Amino acid sequence: MALERLQKILAHAGITSRRKAEQLILAGRVTVNGQVVTELGTKADPERDKIKVDGRPVRLPKEHLYLALYKPRNCVTTLFDPQGRRNLSDLLKGLPARVYPIGRLDYHSEGLLLLTNDGDFASAVLKASRRIPKTYLVKVNGMLTPEQEQKFREGVPLFGRRTPPAQIRLLERAANPWYEVTIQETRKDQLRLMFKHFGRLVEKVRRIKIGPVELGKLQPGEFRPLKPSEVAALRKLVESGDNTGRKRSPAQPAVDSHGKHR
């Protein structure tokens, strides 16, 4: 096999993304044939050379895995947590290869998370994440006025600038209503801060869609392989920059119960 850059090999092996692989190399956590490597331009042959990360051998996967997982509430979006909190490794049992998450979901939020051992695919999706629409069900402690809903759609001032335009739709008229919200940029606690801007506190957040991939009938802690058509649609969305995945019929229900029993 031809020589390849170490960060590309680590990404192909499902260790992490290329960007994070570079950090591992710079931190001196990668060895090739017993020698610590810290130069990003270093190349190796994954079939001939003995490559290790933190002393663990690196092996290229025989096949790529693409998964959709329902991350439960109070679970960190990592494969290990030094604080001992519930993490993704507690949920991912029986897989033939190690996978890692594409992106993240806040600790107190639940819902759809994508995972893979295809480093190039993960890097491409992460790079294009700001143009991939994500849809959430959000329960808050009071209704927005029509004027506030319109301002929500236009974007609110956060992080020193205005958030990109969003979609919002009232699903359940109640003292603690449910909204369906579609945004593209998803910074830490962004939805909670957007509603807080209008004096509303978020009680629950559930992500139900990422681009063309839907949460569907998955239950908390369950996962399923992505359909080939879903992987192809994600690739097309990433490569073309097409935002058609955000289109949704206003009359289409997000879930059967709107989260009433959750």
Active site residues: 106
Secondary structure (DSSP) of 40-102? TT-EE-TTTS-EEETTEEP---SS--EEEEEEPSS-BSSS--TT---BGGGT--S-SS--EEE
Q: How much is the CA Rg of the chain, to the nearest whole Å? A: 20
- The distance between the two most distant Cα atoms of the chain, rounded to a whole number of Å, is 64
| Residue type present at position 172 | E
Buried b (16+ CB within 10 A) or exposed e, 102-114: bbebbbebbbbbb
How many whole angstroms separate alpha carbon 217 and alpha carbon 53?
Answer: 37
| Residue type present at position 245 | G
Cα 223 to the center of its chain, rounded Å? 14
CB 51 within 8 A of CB 44: yes
Query: DSSP 3-state assignment of 259?
Result: coil
How many whole angstroms separate alpha carbon 121 and alpha carbon 236?
Answer: 11
How many whole angstroms separate alpha carbon 102 and alpha carbon 104?
Answer: 7
